[in-house]
Structure 1
Amino acid sequence: MFFLLNILGIFVVLGIVYLCSPDKKKIKWRSILTLLVAELLITWFMLSTTIGTWTINKIASFFTWLVSSANAGISFAFPSVMANDTVDFFFSALLPIVFIVTFFDILSYFGIMTWIIDKVGWVISKISGLPKLESFFSIQMMFLGNTEALAVIRQQLVVLKDQRLLTFGIMSMSSVSGSIIGAYLSMVPAEYVFAAIPLNCLNALLLASILNPVEVSKEDDIVYVPPKEERQDFFSTISNSMLIGMKMVIVILAMVIGYVALTTALNGILGFFIDGLTIEKIFGVIFFPFAVLLGLGIQDAMYVASLMGIKLSTNEFVAMMDLKNNILDLNPHTVAVAVTFLTSFANFSTVGMIYGTYSSTLGEERSKIIGKNVWKLLVSGMAVSLLSAMLVGLFVW
């Protein structure tokens, strides 16, 4: 029964996004079906084969090594803190971001990351038949994050029509940055984080093609490549990366502190009027039907629904910290779908980040395309997370 609910959920999510599409005749169903089949094969490979499991373990070991390297720098600055048996979230999950951002920027500086993104994006474009720039961007934001990926293609964004600009805004809701993965791994199982990353990438492309179908001519189907003259020298690059990483840490820390405090305050206000009422319970009711369609029982569905609401209204870090504290009490299927759902940047604050990036890059007038379609960004972000979780859920019981 739960397996059938999980399958039904995939069709429900696709159906809802289809109903929201403004131009259903332009949807390329062959591309949609091709991407879905590819995702099923990728999920099966990662979670149900020995080679897939080995691959995920090796990738997880690589990120564990990155975090341990980062901890060496943190220990130099805070030796007494890192010597404790238990280390606070700020030191264990956030500060490693400074080094990981720098590491990925070094790979980009020498063209390694750029080469990977370009080749994988080309493969996705060939398989799906969707535009090159969108396919390229879906891979790029998986490694770099939404604002960084938008910055890389800023020269091409300037010449795009508004409807296509909206596509990139919609896709940006489902990004995840390689620099954040280490923080995720300190809280939740690695296999579902790494399963979610490629699925989010493909689902962002898939659902954007339904929610905002756009015809792209061969003349317009190109990818902008920054000239070598724009590249800074090596030491300026890594120094700037470290500063960017620290700014990212401060932003995430501020959001976690602020949103946890705000949620607690809202719960206090709600409890004043109705005893026991919390924001988590409200979101639990709203998202409960979707949690059931993940193939969950009533109790687990209520809990996962509350995590969905926490992620949307605050961010995935707050929800993951909650999940971390309860993960031993949940069955494998519940853990798999919950972790997969939480592994992305889909929330209200991300909408603001995307709008701010468009505004600074394209100007206030052209950035209005995001302001007028906030609901599409939110629908896409939640739908991508749900679809990825449902696909993973098919293989974990």
Structure 2
Amino acid sequence: MYFILNILGVLIVSGLVFLCSPAKRKVKWRSILSLFIVELLITWFMLATPVGTWTINKIASFFKWLVSCADAGISFAFPSVMANQQVDFFFSALMPIIFIVTFFDILSYFGIMTWIIDKVGWVISKVSGLPKLESFFSIQMMFLGNTEALAVIRQQLKVLKGNRLLTFGIMSMSSISGSIIGSYLTMVPADYVFAAIPLNCLNALLIASILNPVEISKEEDIVYVPPKEEKKDFFSTISNSMLVGIKMVIVILAMVIGYVAITTCLNGILGFIVHGLTIQKIFGIIFSPFAFLLGLGGHDAMYVASLMGIKISTNEFVAMMDLKTHLKTMAPHTTAVAVTFLTSFANFSTVGMIYGTYESIFGEESSGIIGKNVWKLLVSGMAVSLLSAMIVGLFVW
């Protein structure tokens, strides 16, 4: 019964996105079907085969090692804090970002990350038949984050037409930065985090192809490569990376504190009006139909629906902190779909980040494209997270 609901959910979400598309006749169903088949194969490999499980465990061990390296630096600066049996969220989940951002930038400096992104993006483009730049970008934002990925290809984006420029804004809603993965692993199971990462990448392409299909010529289908003149010296690069990392820590910390405080304030006001009413319960009702389509029933559906609302209105960190306290009592399927759904940057604050990036890089005219299509970005972010969770859910019961 619930498995059938899970399959039905994939069809319903895809259908709803198609109904929202202003250019239904331009949708390339062959490309979409190709992406969906690849997603099923990737998920099956990662979650249902010994080799896939071994691969995920090795990747998770690598990121945990990165976090341990970061802990060494944190312990040097805050020895008494790190000596405690239970370390605060700020030190255990956020401070490691400083080192991990630097580590990924070092890989990019020596061309290792650039090579991986380029080759994997080329493969996705060949399989899906979608433009190279969009395929390249979907991989790039998975490692670098949405704003960083937009900045890297800013020169090519500046010459794109408005409709295609919107595609990159839509895709940016479903990104995840490699520098954040270590923080996720301190709160939720690694299996579903690493399953969500490639699925979000492919689903971002899939949803953008339905919601905002574009047609380009072969001459336009190119990928921008930054000139060597833009490359700074090594020590300037890593020093700048560390400063970028601490800024990310401060921004995330501010958002977590602010949004938790706002949620508590709203709950107090709602409770004063109607006894027991909370923002989580309201979102639970709004998102419950989608939670049932994840193959959940009763109490689990309402809880996961509230997590959806928390993520969309605040961010995934707040929702993951709540989920962490319930993991021991949850069924495997519920854990799988909840963690997968939460593993992305899709929320209201991300819309603001994308808008700000467009305005700073491309100017007011281009940023207006985002301002006029905020609903498309939100639909995309929600749909990608749901599809990724539904696909993972098919393999975990």
Structure 1 CA distance for aligned equivalents of residues 124 and 297 of structure 2: 36
Q: Which amino acid in 2 is paired with 1:214?
A: V
Structure 2 CA distance for aligned equivalents of residues 228 and 59 of structure 1: 31
Q: CA deviation at 1:4?
A: 0.2
Matched ranges for 1:224-243 at <5 A: 224-243=224-243
Structure 1 CA distance for aligned equivalents of residues 334 and 216 of structure 2: 40
**Alpha-carbon deviations, 1:80-118, whole Å to 9, x = none?**
000010000000000000000000000000000000000
2:176: which partner in 1?
176
1:42: which partner in 2?
42
Q: Which amino acid in 2 is paired with 1:201?
A: C
1:211: which partner in 2?
211
Q: Which amino acid in 2 is paired with 1:109?
A: Y
Structure 1 CA distance for aligned equivalents of residues 104 and 122 of structure 2: 21
SS of match in other structure, 2:269: helix
**Is 1:107 aligned to 2:104, yes or no?**
no
> What is the alpha-carbon root mean square deviation over aligned residues?
0.3
Which is further off, 187-196 or 358-367? 358-367
Q: CA deviation at 1:216?
A: 1.0
Structure 2 CA distance for aligned equivalents of residues 266 and 54 of structure 1: 44
2:13: which partner in 1?
13
Structure 2 CA distance for aligned equivalents of residues 217 and 111 of structure 1: 29
Structure 2 CA distance for aligned equivalents of residues 380 and 297 of structure 1: 25
2:190: which partner in 1?
190
**Is 1:121 aligned to 2:113, yes or no?**
no
Q: Which amino acid in 1 is paired with 2:115?
A: W
Q: CA deviation at 1:277?
A: 0.2
**Is 1:276 aligned to 2:276, yes or no?**
yes
1:244: which partner in 2?
244
**Is 1:73 aligned to 2:68, yes or no?**
no
Structure 1 CA distance for aligned equivalents of residues 358 and 349 of structure 2: 14
Q: TM-score, normalised by structure 1?
A: 1.00
2:388: which partner in 1?
388
Structure 1 CA distance for aligned equivalents of residues 369 and 193 of structure 2: 32
Q: Which amino acid in 1 is paired with 2:118?
A: D
Q: CA deviation at 1:57?
A: 0.3
Structure 2 CA distance for aligned equivalents of residues 51 and 94 of structure 1: 31
Q: CA deviation at 1:19?
A: 0.1
Structure 1 CA distance for aligned equivalents of residues 196 and 243 of structure 2: 28
Matched ranges for 1:1-397 at <5 A: 1-397=1-397
Structure 2 CA distance for aligned equivalents of residues 247 and 362 of structure 1: 23
Structure 1 CA distance for aligned equivalents of residues 235 and 103 of structure 2: 13
Unaligned residue ranges in structure 2 (runs of 5+): none
Q: Which amino acid in 2 is paired with 1:75?
A: S
**Alpha-carbon deviations, 1:232-274, whole Å to 9, x = none?**
0000000000000000000000000000000000000000000
**Alpha-carbon deviations, 1:5-32, whole Å to 9, x = none?**
0000000000000000001111000000
Q: Which amino acid in 2 is paired with 1:87?
A: V
Structure 2 CA distance for aligned equivalents of residues 4 and 274 of structure 1: 37
Q: Which amino acid in 1 is paired with 2:316?
A: E
Structure 2 CA distance for aligned equivalents of residues 300 and 83 of structure 1: 37
Q: Which amino acid in 2 is paired with 1:364?
A: E
Structure 2 CA distance for aligned equivalents of residues 274 and 25 of structure 1: 47
Structure 2 CA distance for aligned equivalents of residues 367 and 256 of structure 1: 26
Q: CA deviation at 1:366?
A: 1.5
Structure 2 CA distance for aligned equivalents of residues 234 and 221 of structure 1: 32
SS of match in other structure, 2:337: helix
**Alpha-carbon deviations, 1:146-166, whole Å to 9, x = none?**
000000000001000000000
Structure 2 CA distance for aligned equivalents of residues 364 and 321 of structure 1: 37
Q: CA deviation at 1:142?
A: 0.3
SS of match in other structure, 1:232: coil
Q: Which amino acid in 2 is paired with 1:143?
A: F
Matched residue count: 397
Structure 2 CA distance for aligned equivalents of residues 164 and 349 of structure 1: 23
**Alpha-carbon deviations, 1:121-170, whole Å to 9, x = none?**
00000000000000000000000000000000000010000000000000
Q: Which amino acid in 2 is paired with 1:315?
A: N
Q: Among the aligned pairs, what percent are the same residue?
A: 83
Structure 1 CA distance for aligned equivalents of residues 365 and 228 of structure 2: 30
Structure 1 CA distance for aligned equivalents of residues 236 and 222 of structure 2: 30
Q: Which amino acid in 1 is paired with 2:128?
A: S
**Alpha-carbon deviations, 1:163-193, whole Å to 9, x = none?**
0000000000000000000000000000000
Q: CA deviation at 1:329?
A: 1.2
Q: TM-score, normalised by structure 2?
A: 1.00
Structure 2 CA distance for aligned equivalents of residues 126 and 331 of structure 1: 38
Q: CA deviation at 1:365?
A: 1.3
Q: Which amino acid in 1 is paired with 2:199?
A: L
Q: Which amino acid in 2 is paired with 1:327?
A: L
Structure 2 CA distance for aligned equivalents of residues 290 and 329 of structure 1: 22
Structure 1 CA distance for aligned equivalents of residues 329 and 315 of structure 2: 23
